[in-house]
Amino acid sequence: MANRPVAIRRALPGALAAACVAAFVASALGAVLWFAGGGGWPDAADWAALRFTVMQAGLSAVFSVTLAIPVARALARRSFPLRGALIVLLGAPFILPVIVAVMGLLTVFGRSGIVSDFLALLGLPKLSIYGLHGVLLAHVFLNLPLATRILLQGWQDIPAERFRLAATLGMGPAQIQRFLEWPMLRATAPAALLAVFGMCLNSFAVVLMLGGGPKSTTLELAIYQAFRFDFDLGRAATLAAIQALLVGGVVWIALRFTRLDGQGAGMDRPRHIWGAGSRWLRLQDTLLIVLAALFLLVPLGAVVLRGVVGLADVPPSVWGAFGASVSVALVSTVLAVVVSLWVAIAALRWGWTEVLATLGLSVSPLVLGTGLFLMVNPWINPARLAFAVTALVNAVMLIPFALRVIAPALRAIEADYGRQADILGLTGWARMRLLILPRARRGLGFAAGLAAAMSMGDLGVIALFADPHQATLPLQMYRLMGAYRMEAAAGAALILLGGSLALFWIFDRWGRGDAKA
Amino acid sequence: MKYLALASGLIAATAAVADTPVLTIYTYDSFISDWGPGPAVEKAFEAECACDLQFVGAGDGAALLGRLKLEGARTQADIVLGLDTTLTHDAIATGLFAPHSVSASYDLPVTWDDAYFVPYDWGYFAFVKNADQDGPSNFRELADSPLKIVIQDPRSSTPGLGLLMWVKAAYGDQAPAIWQGLADNIVTVTKGWSEAYGLFLEGEADMVLSYTTSPAYHLIAEQDDSKAAAAFDEGHYMQIEVAGKVAATDQPELADKFLAFMVSDAFQSIIPTTNWMYPAVIPADGLPKGFETLIHPAKSLIVPVDMADAVRAQALEEWLTALSQ
Amino acid sequence: MLRLENVQVAQDDFTLNADFTIDRGARVAVIGPSGAGKSTLLNVIAGFQPLTAGRVWLNGQDITDLSPGQRGVSMLFQDNNLFPHLSVAQNVGLGLRPDLRLTTTQQDQVRAALVQVGLGGMGDRKPAQLSGGQQSRVALARVLVQRRGLVLLDEPFAALGPALKMEMLDLLAQVLDGTGATLLLVTHDPEDAKRIAPLTMLVADGMAQAPVQTAALFAAPPAALRAYLGDSVDLPRNL
C-alpha cells in the first residue's frame, strides 16, 4: 500500500498548536532563566534525584502496564453483570488527589491497615509499605486503571471481524494472542507506558509520603529546595529543562518503537464474546478481575466510607469550590481535546508535533507557575487570571494523555478510510464531520472523560495564581486538612471523587453512544 | 438630563470606591481560608480603618517570601504577614521591608526587639501523640524507643524545617548523631503538615511533628481530649510568626495602623482558635478555656535570627546525610 | 483519454514503468502476477503514489500534481469502500457532495441510483446490515452518481462468490453504459476480463504494457502471461 502523507494544509493547524504548547512551556522556563540571569549547574544530589525520579517512574510504568495487560484482556473477553460500572469505577484511583488515594491505600496496606491487622492475628510483624516498594505499590494503584483503560481500548479497537476470522481458523487463545493481541499491544502498550511514566515523573507527594525519607528525593523536590532554600531560580529552571528534554527524548523513542500497522477496519458489527475458552481460562480471568477489583476498590471503599461520614461536616464553601472545579475541568477538557485532535492530524505527517505537544507532561508545575507569574505579573494582577491560567495549565498537562488516546484512533481512521475519503474529495470540515468525528468518537469520548476527571484533581493548582475569593475543590480540601478538619476534608474528597467519576462517565458514555447504531 | 444625573451618580459612586484606600496583605494560604483568622481579621480591621483590606494568599511562609522576591519593589503588597524567624533575616536582606514603629509588651518567652518585623503569634513545635501513649521525654529517649514518628520534609514544609532547627539548637554538633538514632523511628517524611497529620490520625505513626497547641484544637473544637503533646526536657523550638511593612507601600500610614492593630486585643483574641497558636500579646480576656491543659516547655529554643541562614543550610546537609544512609 | 507518459515509480527494489494511452470510454482489465504493480499502477493514476518520473494526462489535462480528490476519478478498493458509521444513502451521497449537503434533486439522484442497483428503500440502513453483495452494490451506486470520466477498480469484488461477482460485473457494465466512463479493472481472473473488458493490459516484470484486445491476448498469451496463468489456462473454459 502506498504511504501517503497528509496534506500540509491539513497538518498545519495541529503543527501550529503543538508549537504553541511548546512555546508556552519554553517561554515559562525562559522567563525563570531570564529572571535568574542564567542557569545554574545541578549538583551531585540533583543528579541523584534525577536518577531516582526516572527509575521510580520507569519501574512504576513497567509494573503498571505489565499487570494491566492480563486484567485488560480478562475484561475484554468476559461479559458479566455490572461490567460497565466496574470499568468506570476502576478509573477512580487516578483521578483522586494523591493524598486521598494514598490514605485509602493505607487503610489496606498501612501499619494499622487490614493486611497488618491480619498479620498481627497470625503473630507476624506489621507490614511496612514505606520505601521504594511502597512508592511502586501506590503508583500501580494509581495508574493500573489508566493503563488498563488504554489497553482495553486497544482490545475493543480490534474489529469483531478479526476475532471471527480467528475463530473460523480454529485459533486457540495462544494463537489469538500471537496474531491479534500482540500486534495490538505493540501499538498500544508504548502509549500506556508513556502515560504512566509521565504521571509518575511529577508524582512528588506520593513519593515523599511513601518513600520513607530523603533517600527518595525526586527532581521536583530538588526544584523545591532550589526555590525555597536557596532561591536559586537558575538551578531550578535548569533542572526543569533537563526533565523536559528527558521526557521529550523518551516520547520520541516510544513513538518510534510504536508499530503503526493498523488492525484494518471492520463493519462496526456488534462484538460478541468469542472463544469462551476452557474452564481454566475462565477461572483465570475471573480470578484476575476479582483480584484487580479488590486491589482497587477496597481502598476506594475506605475513601467513600470516610467521606460519607464527613459529608455532614462539609461547609457550603466546598460546593462553590466544586462549581469552580467543574468549570475549570470543562474548559480545560475542551481545550485539551481540540488541540489533541489537531495535533493528532498533524502527527500523521510530522511525528515531531506529537513530541512537542507532549512537553507539558514533563515540566515542573512549580517552575511553570513561576515562569507564567513572571511573564504576567508586570502587566496584570495574577489573581485576575486565576481561572484562565488554571484551565490553560491543566489543558497543557492533559494534552499528552488525550493525545495518547486520540492519535492511534486517527492513525487507524486514516489507514482504513483515508484513501477512499481522498478520492471522494472529502476535505476540511466535511472530512472532520463525516469521517473523523464519528469514527474517532469512542476515543474522543474516552480522552475527554479522562481529561475532565484528571482536571478535577489537583493538576494545575498554582499558588501564585490563586484566586483569593474562589478556591478549586482540591485546594479547598487541602485547606480543610490544613485547618485540622480531616473529616470535612474526607467529605470534600468524596464530592471530588463523585464529580470526577460523573464527568468521566458522561463523556465516555457519549463516546460509546454510537457503537450500537 | 436624566441620563446625565445617572451618569454623574455612577461617577460619584466609582469615585467613592476609588477613594477607599486599599491595604493589600500577602499571607500564607491557611491564614485566609474560611477557618483561618483572615475573615475575622478583615472584618475587625475594616470596622475601624475606613479602608478595604485585601488578603492575597501565597502557599506557605517560604513561598510567600519567594513570591516577594519574584515581584521585587514592584510588589502590590503593603504588608507581608506570615514569615517566621527562620526567614526574617533573608527577608530583611532583600531590602524590601521598612522598619516599624510598633511597641507592645509581648508575652513571648524571648525578648523581641526586631526593627523590621512585628510578631503576631507563636508556638512550640512538638510531637503530638495519643494521650494514653507514654511519650519520650527527649530526642535520645525517642531514638531508643520503638516509637514510630512521621515528620515533614524541611525542603517543602515549615514545621519540617522547624524540627531541623530544633535538633540543631538543642544538640549543636551532636545533631547528626541524633538524626542517625532517629532514622529507624521515622516512618516517613511527607511534603507538608496536612499529609503528616493525616497519617498520624490514621494510626500510621505513634507521634507526628506538629505544635504543642495542636491538642487544643481537638479539645476545643471537637471536645476530644485524646491527643497530647510530648514534653521534651531539652526544650522545644519556637516558631514566632511575624508581619512587616513593605518599604515601597503606597499606604504607609494604613500599614502602620494595621501593624498596631495586629498587636491589639481585637486581632490577638482571634488567633488562638483560628490559627491555633499562642497570641503574641495575651488579650485582656486571657487564653480560651482549654489552653491551660497544654504542656509548658521548661526551656524555649530558638536560633538567633542573624544565624538562621547558616544554621539552616548546615542542618539540612546533616539531615540529608544522616537519613540517606 | 488517459495517457501515462514515460511514468516511472521506483521504491526500494520495486520498479514500475508505464507508457501507454487508453481511449475515452475504453474498458481495460489489468492483469498480472501478484506484486507486479497492478495496484501501484492504479494508485499512480488516482494520485496516491508519487512518481519518480513522467506525467499523467487525463482528457488533455496534466493531472500529475493534482491531489486524488481533484482528479475527477472514481476508485473502489478491495475493502473499506463504505464508511460503516454512515447510512447507505449517505455513502452514496458522498459521491455527489463530500460535505453531504444535498439538494432535493441530489437526494432523488441517490434514491434513483439505489433503485438502479437493486437497493431501493434501503437507503437508511447501515452497511453492516447488508450482505457483501449488497455492500458492493452501494459502492457501485456511488460510482454511478459520481459520473466521473474514469473509474478505477482494485479487485473490489474479489471477496464475492463467482455468481455474485458476475452479477456485479454486469451491473458495473450497466453503470458504465450510463456514464460512458473509462474503466480500469484490476483482476486476477481471466474470466472477469473476458466478461467485461474488450481490452486487457498485462503488468509484469516491472512494466505496464499497453492494452491489447482481450480475446487475442488470451488466445495467444505471451510468455509473461503464460507464466502467470500457468498450464491450466484453458481449464475454466473446459469445465
Tens of pLDDT, residue by residue over C49-85, are 889 999 999 988 999 988 888 888 999 988 888 888 8
> What pLDDT is recorded for position A250?
80
Are the Cβ atoms of B66 and A484 closer than 8 angstroms? no
In a domain, A226, yes or no: yes
- Contact residues on chain A for B195, CB-CB shorter than 8 A: 99, 205, 208-209
CATH 3.40.190.10 in chain B, residue ranges: 2-122+240-292, 123-237+297-324
Let me know: does A30 contact A244? Beta carbons within 8 Å.
Answer: no
Paired with B152 in beta bridges are: B190
Name the maximum alpha-carbon separation found in chain B: 87
Residue C26 pLDDT class (50, 70, 90 cuts)? very high
Q: Which of A112, A211, A475 sits opposite B203 (nearest CB)?
A: A112
Q: Which chains touch B (3 or more CB pairs under 8 A)?
A: A
pLDDT score of C235? 45
Q: How many CB pairs under 8 A join A and C?
A: 79
Instruction: In whole angstroms, give the CA distance from residue B232 to residue B227.
Output: 16
The alpha carbons of chain C give a radius of gyration, in whole angstroms, of: 18
Note whether residue A432 is domain-resident.
yes
Helix locations, A122-159, DSSP H: 132-157
- Considering the domain boundaries, does residue A517 fall inside one? no
Residue in B34, B188, B319 closest to A130 by CB: B188
SS3 B122: strand
**Chains B, C in contact, 3 or more Cβ pairs below 8 Å:** no
Domain ranges of chain C: 2-72+151-238, 83-147
Packing angle of the helix pair A44-77, A83-90 (nearest 10 deg): 180
| Count of structural domains, chain A | 1
The reply to whether residue B204 touches residue A317, judged by beta carbons under 8 angstroms, is no
| Chain C: partners with 3+ C-beta pairs within 8 Å | A
Inspect the interface and report whether the beta carbons of A484 and B205 lie closer than 8 Å. Answer: no
Residue A239, domain CATH:
1.10.3720.10
Neighbouring-strand partners of residue B278? B122
Contact B33 A479 (CB under 8 A): yes
Cβ of B190 under 8 Å from any chain A Cβ? yes
3-class secondary structure, A82: coil
pLDDT at residue B14 in the model: 47
Structural domain for A84, as ranges: 8-512
* Contact between A320 and A479 (Cβ < 8 Å): no
Q: Which chain A residue is nearest to residue C76, measuring alpha carbons?
A: A420
pLDDT at C184 over 90: yes
Could you tell me which CATH number the domain at C2-72+151-238 has? 3.40.50.300
Burial of A420 (0-12, 13-18, 19+ CB in 10 A): buried
Question: Mind telling me how many Å the CA of B176 is from chain A's nearest CA?
Answer: 14
Q: Indicate which of A419, A439, A441 best probes the interface with C, i.e. most C CBs within 10 Å of its own CB.
A: A419
Q: Are C96 and C109 in contact (CB under 8 A)?
A: yes
pLDDT in tens, A45-84: 888 888 899 899 999 999 999 999 999 988 887 878 888 8
Report yes or no on A3 lying in a domain.
no
Which residue among A221, A463, A464 places its CB closest to the CB of B156? Answer: A221
| Closest residue to A4, CB basis, from C48, C75, C98 | C48
Per-residue pLDDT in tens (0 to 9) along chain B, 325 residues: 444 444 444 444 444 455 789 999 999 988 988 889 999 999 999 999 999 999 988 888 888 898 899 898 889 899 999 999 988 998 999 999 999 999 899 999 999 989 999 999 999 999 999 999 888 999 999 999 999 999 999 988 889 999 999 999 999 999 999 999 999 999 999 888 988 999 999 889 999 999 999 999 999 999 999 999 999 999 999 999 999 999 999 999 999 999 999 999 999 999 999 999 999 999 999 999 999 999 999 899 999 888 888 898 899 999 988 887 7
Q: To probe the interface with C, which of A1, A10, A267 has the most C CB atoms within 10 Å?
A: A267
Q: How high is the mean pLDDT in each 10-residue block of chain A (517 residues)?
A: 59 89 92 86 84 91 94 84 80 76 87 85 83 90 88 79 70 74 82 84 79 82 82 88 82 68 53 60 88 90 90 89 92 94 89 85 83 88 83 89 85 86 86 89 89 78 71 86 88 91 89 58
Topology, domain B2-122+240-292: D-Maltodextrin-Binding Protein; domain 2 (3.40.190)
DSSP state of A410: H
A429 touches chain C (CB under 8 A): yes
CA distance A274 to chain C (A): 19
- Calculate how close chain C gets to A402, using CA atoms only, in Å: 23
Q: CA–CA separation, A511 vs A235, rounded Å?
A: 44
Query: A47 burial class (0-12, 13-18, 19+ CB within 10 angstroms)?
Result: middle
Residue A361, C-beta contacts closer than 8 angstroms, at least 6 positions apart: A198, A201, A247, A251, A397, A400
Summarised one tens digit per residue, pLDDT across range C220-233 is 888 888 888 775 44
3-state SS of B35-92 is CCCHHHHHHHHHHHHCCEEEEEECCCHHHHHHHHHHHHHHCCCCEEEEEECCCHHHHH
Looking at the structure, give the CATH architecture of the domain made up of residues B123-237+297-324: 3-Layer(aba) Sandwich (3.40)
pTM of the shown model: 0.84
pLDDT at residue A270 in the model: 52
Rounded to the nearest 10 degrees, what angle do helices A132-157 and A182-201 cross at? Answer: 140
Q: How far is C211 from chain A (nearest CA, A)?
A: 24
Whether A424 sits inside 8 A of C98 (CB atoms) is yes
